[in-house]
Amino acid sequence: MLIENSLITDVKEKLRIKRLLKDAQKAIIIWDPRSTARKPPKNSVQLLLSVSNMFHLAGSFIECTSPDYIINTIGSTNRDSIERAYDWLIPAISSFRSVIDRLPPSASCFLLLRAYGQDTSASGELLKLSAPLLTHVKRSLCGKHAAEGTKRAADLLFFDIADADADRRICARRVLLEALGKVELSQNIYPAALSGDFKWLVGLLETQFAEVVIASAIPQLVSDVFSFE
């Protein structure tokens, strides 16, 4: 019985490795500065993975900032690019949390929305990263990454505020409340009614690039008002 179980386990492990190698063949691209990017030969994938594991190349590339391979691999700051990078980005930032500080603002917003919105085993791993992601989102909205970074973060969050999917609207409001709901107000001139779940609305006025954030918020908030919960 023990031998049979051992054989079954061995077969399963070989099948798992075969699937990983097949997926790796689809994902690995040779970046040669002297020519165009291309896929490596099929027989070389296992060798590449072995060399990477032996010399810890993956970690070295992830930590490298000149050039920044993480940003170069994501390729763009739009939602589609970040979503395509999701599967490999989560393990990268789980192992190297300092990478979060290098992410584009739209990427940290997207990942935090995923962390709050998914009830799966994958989101469980992502939830462990919610605190540093939230810090990055808050800094992004408050102007750490200049006006363009603020705009990209605001655009993504307020787009979800007006989404037809109620769960996405709830997640976006939660991110905004946790990111801006505790912003210290510079003047005590706001109505007492603007508190609790709506305090983030006042927080918008306290951001460094408030005009950028508000310009992104108004059309989506108006849409949200007329949406059906």
* Domain assignment present for 16: no
- Which domain covers residue 77, as residue numbers? 43-225
What is the tens place of the pLDDT at every residue in 143-183? Answer: 888 888 898 899 999 888 888 888 888 899 889 888 887 66
| SS3 readout for 179-207 | HHCCCCCCCCCCCCCCCHHHHHHHHHHHC
The arithmetic mean of pLDDT across residues 1-7, rounded, is 49
* Domain assignment present for 93: yes
* Domain assignment present for 216: yes
Confidence of residue 137 (pLDDT cuts 50, 70, 90): very high
More confident residue, 136 or 77: 136
Residue 182, CA atoms < 13 Å, CB-side half-sphere: 8
pLDDT the model gives residue 229: 47
Residue 100 in this model has a pLDDT that exceeds 90 = yes
pLDDT the model gives residue 78: 86
* Domain assignment present for 32: no
Between 210-225 and 146-161, two packed helices, what is the crossing angle to 10 degrees? 10
Distance, in Å, from the CA atom of 204 to the CA atom of 127, rounded to the nearest integer, reads 25
Residue 90 in this model has a pLDDT that exceeds 80 = yes
pLDDT the model gives residue 187: 54
Confidence of residue 14 (pLDDT cuts 50, 70, 90): low
DSSP state at residue 56: T
Q: Are 220 and 159 in contact (CB under 8 A)?
A: yes
pLDDT the model gives residue 8: 55
Peptide bond into 91 cis (omega under 30): no
Mean of pLDDT over the chain: 77
* Domain assignment present for 61: yes
What is the tens place of the pLDDT at every residue in 171-218? Answer: 998 898 888 876 665 555 555 545 566 677 777 877 888 888 888 888
* Domain assignment present for 208: yes
* Domain assignment present for 3: no
**pLDDT > 70: percent of the chain:** 69
For residue 109, give Cα distances in angstroms to 24, 70, 112. Answer: 28, 17, 5
CA-wise closest residue to 116 among 176, 188, 191, 33: 176
CA-wise closest residue to 175 among 97, 109, 221: 109
Residue reference for tokens 């763009």 = 76
How many independent structural domains does the chain possess?
Answer: 1
- Of 1-5, 97-101, 130-134, 179-183, minimum mean pLDDT range: 1-5
Return all residues near 152 (Cβ < 8 A) that are at least 6 apart: 77, 104, 105, 106, 140
The arithmetic mean of pLDDT across residues 51-63, rounded, is 83
Return all residues near 146 (Cβ < 8 A) that are at least 6 apart: 209
* Domain assignment present for 15: no
